[in-house]
Amino acid sequence: MNYTDSNLFHNTEKNKPPILIAEDDLTSRIILAGILGKWGYDPIAVNDGQAAWDVLQRPDAPSLVILDWMMPKMDGLEVIRQVRARVTEQPPYIILLTSKDEKSDILSGLEGGANDYIKKPFEHEELLARIRVGQRTLELQTSLYEAKRSMEHLATRDPLTGILNRRAILEQLSKELSRIQRGRLDQDGKKLSIGFFDVDNFKHINDKYGHQAGDDVLRGIAQILRTQLRGYDSISRLGGDEFLVLAPESDEAGYKKLYERLVSVIAASPLLTCAGEVMLTISMGVATAIPDSTDDQLLSNADAAMYMAKRAGGNRVVYA
């Protein structure tokens, strides 16, 4: 029976990850794969270090690995070094399988990046215990990674609307300007533009309908922006009723069409609030970047254009 096919063992129990086995001895490989399959794991068995490294470079690579130390083409320690050289937030847990019993050899394996080791011949119970330690470690690693991602997401989001907050959008603006300053401007007339706007007479909305309705208005505006922007545009609530749209890689006709559409759609869209439907308009100022633009200059230009739009009666776009 060929145990190199991962489909021969199907994981019927929850929370048991697939395990990569790299072992050049056929008999040992078959026995090891059979044991893991009996325990409910899904073994992926290969017969040399290069094959193991090929598997570990896949997007769906197993996170739990058992590597024989002495293998052809690439030994286990070299596979580990290649794995640890890759930058990843969720590295695999690697158990080194070895017949070496010198303390110096074991230390060199652990210092080389192995998480654990087991000496041949091994007791099945010991192997299972070490696999379970690896599994618990991976579960904790995943939990920490997800918590970190969640915290990073929350740190960049406006709590009221769910879109980017001021800090996040300004960091993104700085990155886009740095790209322009490095001379990576498109040659076909595409530019970076920003649209800075706020709600016309927003204080009146709060005074007439209440602050809860005002919050509903801001959430409604954010939802409209999500549906109207392209996938690579960014939106942010800077604070209060002020919003910023970041639109990279648009020619003049394209970004003018974008901003005019936003103003028109918001003016034509009744926003549902706790006090009923509310109609409103916005005033927007637009500025485009040149190679020596700074974020402060760009924001100042857009801000000045926005106040020109307000003085002209609102519900319009003014270009800096």
75 belongs to the catalytic site? no
Q: Say which residues have a Cβ less than 8 Å from residue 190's Cβ, sequence separation at least 6.
A: 249, 250, 251, 254
- DSSP secondary structure string for all residues of 129-171: HHHHHHHHHHHHHHHHHHHHHHHHHHHTB-TTTSSB-HHHHHH
Residue in 201, 220, 202, 199 with CA at minimum distance from that of residue 276: 220
Return the H-helix or E-strand segment holding 296. Answer: helix 295-311
Rg (C-alpha) for the chain, rounded Å, is: 29
> Which contacts of 140-147 are long-range, i.e. CB under 8 A and separated by 24 or more positions?
141/90, 142/90, 145/89, 145/90
In 10 A of CB 178, how many CB atoms? Answer: 11
**Catalytic residue (choose from 188, 241, 251, 296):** 241
Cα–Cα distance, 22 to 299 (Å, whole number) = 57
The alpha carbon of 196 is separated from its chain's Cα centroid by a whole number of angstroms, namely 27
CA within 13 Å, CB half, 213: 20
Nearest to 95 by CA among 75, 120, 122, 68: 68
- Rounded-to-integer distance, Cα 24 and Cα 132, Å: 24
Q: Which residues contact 121 (CB under 8 A, 6 or more apart)?
A: none
CB 37: neighbour CB atoms within 10 A?
Answer: 17
Catalytic residues: 241
